[in-house]
Structure 1
Amino acid sequence: MDTEKIHDEITRLRREIERHNHSYYVDNAPTVSDHDFDILMKRLEELEKEHPEWDDPDSPTHRVGSDLSKGFVQAPHIHPMLSLGNTYSVGEVDEFLGRLRDSLNGQPVTIVGEMKFDGTSISLIYEHGRLVRAVTRGDGEKGDVVTDNVRTIRSIPLHLQGEGWPESFEIRGEIVLPWKAFDRLNSEREFQEEPLFANPRNAAAGTLKLLNPAEVARRGLDAYFYYLIGDNLPCDTHYENMQQARSWGFKVSDAMTRLNSLEAVDAYINHWDKARKELPVATDGLVFKVDSLRQQLNLGTTAKSPRWAIAYKFQAERALTRLRFVSFEVGRTGVITPVANLEPVLLSGTIVKRASLHNADIIQSLDIHQDDMLYVEKGGEIIPKITGVDTDSRRPDATPVEFVDRCPSCGSPLTRLEGEAAWVCPNKYGCSPQIIGRLEHFVGRRMMNIDGIGEEISADLFASGLVKDIADLYSLTYEQLTTLERLGHKSALNILHSIDESRKVPFERVIYALSIPYVGETIAKKIARSVRDIDRLMSMPAGELASIENVGPRIADSIVEFFAEPVNRSIVERLRQAGVTMSASEDTAGTQTDLLNGKTFVISGVFTRHSRDQYKELIELNGGKNTGSISKKTDFVLAGDNMGPAKLEKAAKLGVPIIDEDTFLRMIGQE
């Protein structure tokens, strides 16, 4: 094929893929199968690889993002991003409409109602039909430039379709994380024992500020747009401008509606107070705007907000549903968790069927009886939460829910540790949920990072007898794996490759992967740097272990008890024979110092010399301690660009020194 035909094919593929992206991510109406789409994308990737001279940063192949980033710079907003006045009352919305009519001397006023999406605000600048800059709201006057991350969001057009757009304009919208993507992300984080996001808004904001655009692309952000700004807009009304923006490829909510009377506004509120629960993304209210741009200009703004718009906030969601039964589930450490199994109820965009009751004390304090009607909330919470009981609807013969006294899996009598709320199954090495749980933990990303083995495959491996403990993973063969129903040729090869790669995982992560009670990721790092190898760790007495920073008597006793079990020593020995790392590298040993011994640091901002995680590592390697919040005990704040104003204010108030990267690196002898 000659070069001209190749260039034409690249151009055609890019346009076709962008059309399919728009149909899938904006219109929610896919026009091709995933398989056919993947074939188109693969062909484009091959041609671009063969012909790098025709690379284009707006190509669909770049939507996955790059692993490289230099952090964020700040840029001023062309027009300040003001906040909106809020109300929780329909009556106050009506009063707002009355004030508009008075201010406009009785002129007819058309209002536009639209959803208030619960995400993070974004301003996009387009020039000659191409995205050139994306800036977060920041403090309203300036924000972070996050263009590389925004380019990975597939519902945002990189170059516009249709016609009639101004040569230069700004469009504002909300970056959101759909409920499905949020639940998937939190499931992943829960499995990896990472802190869960409180809600999709926090997850969207955190994702947008990641320094790795490839991870941003993976998480599945979406965007809705709600306001167009520019000198030569196509129409004189807000609503018509947004319909034009829709034709250019922007995702504009179908909920955006013109309202011509007070009754229409009230009806709009009543409708969406219920209908919003069926939306695929989180919302926290409605926004009402004057439609006429001329009237908006005449009404003007206050120092904080426009006079021509108001936000109506929904009340926190609460649902009442019946308790079907309480199940008792066994975790990898043997803790028994009661779970309320509910009649399905729609709450914050998802169907809720289960909610944790945490422990026996919670059941008792709520006084839950069989078949009770329970109040469930999810407003701003990580997971559904039982907040109360409708005792008026309780059956007269209903009996209290009793906590089990034996393990629901293996039947062992439960024990309760002194001073703790949890009941525990002591049968650590014969209780299948505990064994499967330890297997799931071992293969996790922050532990041994063995791809392809999740909850279901872990259970299948145990049920089939192929894996009785974590060390058995290193004896698995291709023939054994392909006997499992869920695994095919490619999946089996991927698992075997990941198992092989896990032999290179550093010692500190191996310690964490062993599931020693109370030994989390941070403690595992401290232990690895102090003891240096597994043999010393297994032989150290509790008193010596307790002297390691952050370990203490309880963790020390737990470590001693863990290695006192012959089964655990046998597993360690088999892992060693399989080639798993059982000592700290010499490189790490060489970098350890006590230059920061006894010093506590808080890290804030964006850095250029090292990442935040690398600075945390350097602090720990040199004897220092990391914390997340500033207090009187904080010795230094290591600050990069865009340090949060709240932390800046608190550091100044407490007199905590703020140091930059260069100062810190000089402290540890790195000029």
Structure 2
Amino acid sequence: MASGTPLPDRDAAASRIRELTEQIRLHDHRYYVLDDPVLPDDAYDALLRELRSLERAHPDLADPDSPTGRVGGSPKEEFRKVTHPVPLQSLDNALDREELAAFLQRLRQGLGREEVPVVCEPKIDGLAVTLRYRDGRFVQGATRGDGRVGEDVTENLRTLRSLPLRLALPVPGELEVRGEVFMARGDFGELNVRREEEGEPPFANPRNAAAGALRQLDPRITAQRRLRLFLYHVVDPLARGITTQGALLEWLREVGFPTQGEWARCTSPGEIGTFLDRWDQKRHEHLAQTDGVVVKLDDLAARETLGSTNRAPRWAIAFKYPPEERPTRVRDIEISVGRTGVLTPTAVLEPVRLSGTVVQRASLHNPDEVARKDVRIGDRVFVRKAGEIIPEVVRVDREARDGSESPFVPPSACPACGSEAVRLEGEVALRCPNRSCPAQLKEGLRHFASRGGLDIRGLGEKLLEQAVDVGLVRDAADLFLVTEDAWAALDRMGAASARNLKEALEVAKDRPLRKLLFALGIRNVGDRLAADLAGRFGSLEALEACSEEALAAVEGVGPVVAAAVRAFFRDGHNRETLRRLREAGVRMEDPQEEKAPGGLPWAGWKLVFTGELESCPREAAQEAARARGAQTGESVSRKTTAVVAGARAGSKLEKARKLGIPVWDEARFLELLREAEETREGDAPFPKTLEEGTRP
């Protein structure tokens, strides 16, 4: 705990930890499973901060399945292979209504019935996973792989808040369920915007983004990608008394799994067609990207009669909607300037209706992409929505050219300020290097004032642009320094609007530190990482003083983010803006009771735990080590600082001895924990000598 903060009474802390854990699980279930949140984000975050603080004070009381453990563990060197006892098969596709009708006829012939009820479910375009539970607790998750052998992604899956670590109802014994991990449409769009702003290539579709996130070797990166989950299958459902697909979906929801609300039991081809037509109209507004409908035999026992081929079940098929592409013409190619200075070419199109909306602009991403597709002004092109979300130019109709088309010439200067455009080493994007560029300033201020940032109510886009254009606002600090009369003098403002805006700005000054960190637009620091950094350091001053090496050792950061954070604080323009924000009264630290323990005395250490500890669960000991700056891993190497060995330690202990790696018993580990706590409290130098070695 921070200096001067008394430790909570142990019994009271245990009771409060249990209470908070259950409250957070309930709210996670309402938000991610029922889609019916009842708690504002700030109130939820306050519960999470309180729980994290109590667990740090009493690591032995922490629940192994605590919600605070979802931020991700240490990086894994590789994924372990998992053999699926029941293979994960693919589905055959029906590309039109005739192929679907042929499938239904095969069902009728195979079962010798005229009426064969089926269940229609939206086909989520995600990554197939299988989850194993033991007595209602999540124990393992794996990817499909080749259907017979997948990859163990348990730690990455634990970061998904829609995945229940414990089921809502008792389910004794072994349970295996299957579903899809996906990235919501809105999160996918935001991710690609951030990648383009940072000069990185965008993901082609939400499925690629989800697959890349789930297979990250570092679970902390997975935790930042906001993946979600839908379940639709139970392995061996008949053994649980579940006899139909409809009942299976209801059972999954009852025990606490997220399922799709949009499904229907159909008893005739006409009902199936009605569902396909209705869903074709609704699918563009669905939370997840969908490209079709899965039609499954409802009778689970009858599925056993039909069986499967080598690759697909005979009792299900995926009806795929045809990809929607529309022709239009490129009126112009404009350059937009992002808040980080990235110059993005954008095709201005003749309006075309696509996937339920009218599209008039499509990002061309970067000059290299324009050259690869050879897009010219005046071209007839075909457009679609990437992942049914982001408009993109698919191809050029070169045969329609008449010679009047104009090739795109990459800009040599920023269109907003005239500064020479530059391309940084290793990047495909062009950038404007001018930090005072008005276009960058406007985009940066929009981000600063956004709901995810300081949430400045009444500071809309048009007002911000006007304030920058007339020279009233030159950086974020000016927002708080402009007088009420000056705001009122702007177009369409007036005294009442100006007074309300000033009141909103005063409220925004007192936002939590995590909001400020996100609002500042530090490269690679999203809202979740901003919350982690705020919880770790407690003040902007402490974060600014932290070295790049110490930052890289913090859970959830790593070397790339650490370099970006240090670069932000080294920049003279940023330092001046922070100084003026501080003078304007913007809060730059969280209240004392919200601060995480300060200092990182174990920065640079790499610890490996093996065996069972008596004083606390091993996960709690790992969290305590990470809270002091150490990295915790699963494998022993020559870079390992020490191995903490409990009872029944296994092969890791033997390998440590062979490599000459220091081995600490539980008593030594707890002694070093106490010393580290005293170091932070009293600023005494951390002891150089360890029991069996020295600090690196």
1:188 is aligned to 2:194: yes
Q: Distance in 2 between matches of 1:187 and 1:610?
A: 39
- The alignment partner of 2:239 has SS state of coil
Does 2:31 correspond to 1:24? yes
Distance 1:171 1:480 in 2: 54
Taking the TM superposition and a 5 Å limit, the aligned residue runs for 1:269-418 are: 269-319=276-326, 327-329=334-336, 338-341=345-348, 354-356=361-363, 375-379=382-386, 383-387=390-394, 409=415
Aligned: 1:261 with 2:263: no
CA distance in 2: counterparts of 1:70 and 1:414, whole angstroms:
43
Contact 2:331 2:377 (8 Å CA) reproduced: no
- Do the aligned partners of 1:409 and 1:431 also contact (CA within 8 Å) in 2? no
After TM superposition, the structure 1 = structure 2 runs for residues 111-260 of structure 1, keeping only pairs within 5 Å, are 111-162=118-169, 165=171, 167-230=173-236, 232-260=239-267
Gaps of 5+ in 1: 392-398, 441-450, 468-477, 507-520, 525-570, 576-605, 615-671
CA contact (8 A) 2:380 2:397 kept: yes
Structure 1 residues 36 and 344: alpha-carbon distance in aligned structure 2, compared to 1, 3 A threshold: farther
* Distance in 2 of aligned mates of 1:183 and 1:501: 34
What amino acid sits opposite 1:288 in the alignment?
V
| Change over 3 Å in CA distance of 1:250–1:409 after alignment to 2 | same
For 1:95 and 1:196, the matched residues in 2 are separated by 39
Structure 2 counterparts to residues 570-649 of structure 1, below 5 A: none
CA distance in 1, matches of 2:320, 2:546: 49
**C-alpha distance 363-479 of structure 1, shift in aligned 2 (>3 A):** closer
- Is the 1:316–1:379 Cα contact (8 Å) retained in structure 2? no
Shift of 1:12: 2.5
Partner residue of 1:109? 116
* CA shift digits 1:419-454 (9 cap, x unpaired): xxx9999x98799369879999xxxxxxxxxx99xx
Instruction: Report deviation, 1:147.
Output: 1.1
| Counterpart check, 1:65 vs 2:45 | no
Q: Distance in 2 between matches of 1:334 and 1:125?
A: 46
Q: Displacement, 1:35?
A: 2.1
Distance in 2 (alpha carbons) for counterparts of 1:47 and 1:349: 49
**What whole-Å deviation, never above 9, does each CA across 1:340-365 have from its counterpart, x for those lacking one?**
34688785699855213567988997
| Letter aligned with residue 187 of structure 1 | V
Kindly tell me: are residues 339 and 312 of structure 1, through their superposed partners in 2, closer, same or farther at Cα, counting changes over 3 Å? same
Contact 1:114 1:256 in 2 (8 A): yes
Counterpart in 2 of 1:11?
18
Separation (CA, whole Å) in 2 of partners of 1:413 and 1:59: 51
**Cα shift at 1:188:** 2.2
SS of match in other structure, 1:384: strand
* 2:335 and 2:415 in contact (8 A); partners too: no
Distance 1:97 1:479, change over 3 A: closer
Question: What amino acid sits opposite 1:267 in the alignment?
Answer: T
Q: In structure 2, do the counterparts of structure 1 residues 239 and 366 end up closer, same or farther at CA, with 3 Å as the change threshold?
A: same
- SS of the equivalent of 1:121 reads strand
SS of 2:164's equivalent in the other structure is: coil
Other structure's SS at 1:182 match: helix
Partner of 1:543: none
SS of equivalent residue, structure 1 residue 232:
helix
Of 57, 63, 70, the match for 1:56: 63
| Offset from partner CA, 1:5-54 (integer Å, 9 cap, x none) | 54333222222211111111122111111122222222222332232222
2:91 corresponds to which of 60, 84, 87: 84
Output aligned runs, 1:467-486, within 5 Å.
Answer: 483=481
**Structure-2 change in CA distance of 1:342 and 1:124 (3 Å):** same
Q: Which amino acid aligns with 1:291?
A: D
Classify 1:331/1:298 alpha carbon distance in 2 versus 1 (closer, same or farther; 3 Å): closer
Aligned pairs for 1:643-662 (under 5 A) are none
SS in 1 for 2:103: helix
When residues 3 and 337 of structure 1 are mapped into structure 2, their CA distance, relative to the original with a 3 A threshold, is closer
> What's the CA shift for 1:68?
4.5
Identify which of 37, 41, 45 aligns with 1:34: 41
Q: Distance in 1 between matches of 2:377 and 2:52?
A: 58
- 1:564 maps to none
Q: Considering Cα pairs closer than 8 Å and 6+ residues apart, tell me whether 1 or 2 has the greater RCO.
A: 2
Partner of 2:487: none
- 1:654 maps to which residue? none
Once the two structures are superposed, residues 133-174 of structure 1 have per-residue CA deviations (whole angstroms, 9 ceiling, x without a partner) of 1111011111111111111111111111135x4532211000
Alignment of 1:519-598 (within 5 A): none
Percent of aligned positions that are identical: 35
From the superposition, tell whether residues 431 and 211 of structure 1 become closer, same or farther in structure 2 (CA, over 3 Å).
closer
Distance in 2, matches of 1:40 and 1:257, equals 38
Q: Which residue does the alignment assign to 1:432?
A: 437
Matched position secondary structure for 2:240: coil
In 2 relative to 1, CA 188–131 (structure 1 residues): closer, same or farther, beyond 3 Å? Answer: same
Which residue of structure 2 aligns with residue 624 of structure 1? none
Task: Name the SS for the 1:378 alignment partner.
Answer: strand
Partners of 1:138 and 1:265 in 2: CA distance: 31
What's 1:659 paired with? none
CA distance in 1, matches of 2:275, 2:516: 55
- TM-fit CA distance, 1:367: 7.1
Structure 1 residues 70-125: Cα deviation after superposition (integer angstroms, max 9, x where no partner): 53211111201111111211110110110111111226311111111111000011
* In structure 2, distance between residues paired with 1:430 and 1:21: 40
Distance in 2 separating the partners of 1:4 and 1:335:
54
Match of 1:621 in 2: none
> How far, CA to CA, are the matches of 2:185 and 2:142 in structure 1?
24
RMSD in angstroms over aligned alpha carbons? 5.2
Q: Alpha-carbon deviation of 1:69?
A: 3.7
The CA deviation at 1:182 is: 1.2
Q: Is the Cα contact below 8 Å between 1:332 and 1:433 reproduced in 2?
A: no
Aligned equivalents of 1:430, 1:390: Cα separation in 2: 40
Flag the 1:353–1:214 CA change in 2: closer, same or farther, 3 A. farther
Contact 1:178–1:282, Cα closer than 8 Å, also in 2: yes
- Give structure 2 stretches of 5+ with no counterpart: 1-7, 399-403, 446-452, 455-460, 483-504, 521-539, 551-559, 564-571, 577-632, 640-696
